[in-house]
Amino acid sequence: MKSLPTVNARRHALPLGLSLLMVTLAWVARAAEAPPLTTAAAVRMLPPDAAAAERPVRLRGTLLLVTRQRDALVLRDETDGIYIELNHTVGNARRPGDQLEVEGVTGAGDFAPMVRAQRVTWLGTGPLPEPRPTTIAELNAGGFDAAWIELEGIVRACKPAAPEGPAVARGGAIAPEVWALTLAQGDDRMTVQLRDRAEPEALIDARVRLRGVVFNVHNANRQFVRAHVQVAHQDLITLLTPPPPDPFARPLQRIDDILRFTPSGFTGHRVHVRGVVTAHHEGRTVWLQDGNRGLRVASDQEGTLLPGDELEVVGFADHGGYAPALSDARFRKVATGAPPLPVVLRAADEIARQDSNLVQIEARLDDVRSTADGLVLTLNWNDSIVGALWPRRAGEPGDAAWEPGSRVRATGICVPRQLDFSRPSGLWVADQMQLLLRTAADLTVIQPAPWLNSRRALLVAIAVAAVVLCALVVVAILARRQIAQREEARKFAEVEFAAMLAERNRLARELHDTIAQELNAVSMQMELAKNSATTGTIDDVLPHLSTAHGIVRGCIAEVRESIWDMRSHILEKHDLLGALRLVAEQLSAGQGCAIHAQTYGRPRRLAPMIENNLLRIGQEVVSNALKHAQAREIRLELHFDPARVRLVVRDDGRGFDPNAPRPGGHFGLRGIRERVEQMNGELHLRGRDGDGTTVDVAVPVADA
String of DSSP letters for 346-397: -SGGGGGG-TTSEEEEEEEEEEEEEETTEEEEEEEETTEEEEEEE-PPTT--
- Mention every residue, 6+ apart, whose C-beta is less than 8 A from residue 649: 618, 621, 622, 625, 634, 635, 636, 637, 694, 695
User: What single-letter DSSP state applies at residue 511?
Assistant: I
CATH class of 40-125: mainly beta
Contact 157, 328 (CB under 8 A): yes
CA distance 583 to 342: 104
CATH of domain 343-419+429-447: 2.40.50.140
Listed in sequence order, the residues at least 6 apart from 513 whose beta carbon sits closer than 8 Å to its beta carbon are none
SS3 readout for 640-688: ECCCEEEEEEEECCCCCCCCCCCCCCCCCHHHHHHHHHHCCCEEEEEEC
Residue 154's nearest CA partner among 305, 315, 362 is 315
Same fold, 343-419+429-447 and 567-700: no
Closest CA to 358 of 374, 373, 375, 339: 339
Contacts of 119 (CB under 8 A, 6+ apart): 102, 103, 104
List phi, psi (to 5°) of 152: -120, 150
Of residues 44, 74, 328, the one with CA closest to residue 211: 74
Q: Which fold has domain 247-336?
A: OB fold (Dihydrolipoamide Acetyltransferase, E2P) (2.40.50)
Task: Report the alpha-carbon distance of residue 24 to residue 192 in Å, rounded.
Answer: 45
d(CA 407, CA 415): 22
User: Which pLDDT score is estimated for 638?
Assistant: 94
Question: DSSP strand E in 417-492: where?
Answer: 433-436, 443-447
Is residue 284 left, alpha or beta, with left meaning phi > 0 and alpha meaning psi from -120 to 50? Answer: alpha
| 696 CB burial (10 A radius; 0-12, 13-18, 19+) | middle
Q: Give the three-state DSSP class for 225.
A: strand
Structure confidence at residue 625 (pLDDT)? 86
Q: What is the DSSP letter of 513?
A: I
Name the pairing type of β-strands 114-125 and 81-85. Answer: parallel
pLDDT of residue 7: 41
Contact 379, 437 (CB under 8 A): no
Strand partners, 315: 271
Contact 181, 194 (CB under 8 A): yes
Q: What residues does each domain of the chain span?
A: 1-33, 40-125, 132-241, 247-336, 343-419+429-447, 457-560, 567-700
Supply the pLDDT for residue 190.
93
SS3 of 245, please?
coil
| Separation between Cα atoms, residue 309 and residue 275, nearest integer Å | 8
The predicted pLDDT at position 428 comes to: 67
Label residues 98-123 b or e (16+ Cβ within 10 Å = b).
bbbebebbbbbbebbbbbbbeebeee
Which residues in the chain show pLDDT less than 50?
A: 1-14, 31, 164-173, 567, 664-667, 704
Decide: residue 61, CB within 10 A, 0-12 exposed, 13-18 middle, 19+ buried.
buried
Predicted pLDDT of residue 164: 42
Q: Which residues contact 593 (CB under 8 A, 6 or more apart)?
A: 625, 626, 631, 632, 633, 634
Query: What is d(CA 615, CA 617) in angstroms, rounded to the nearest whole number?
Result: 5
**Topology of the domain comprising 567-700:** Heat Shock Protein 90 (3.30.565)
How many whole angstroms separate alpha carbon 204 and alpha carbon 159? 10
Class of the domain covering 132-241: mainly beta
Q: What integer pLDDT is reported at residue 214 of this predicted model?
A: 94
Q: Report the helix count and the strand count for the chain, using DSSP H and E.
A: 12, 31
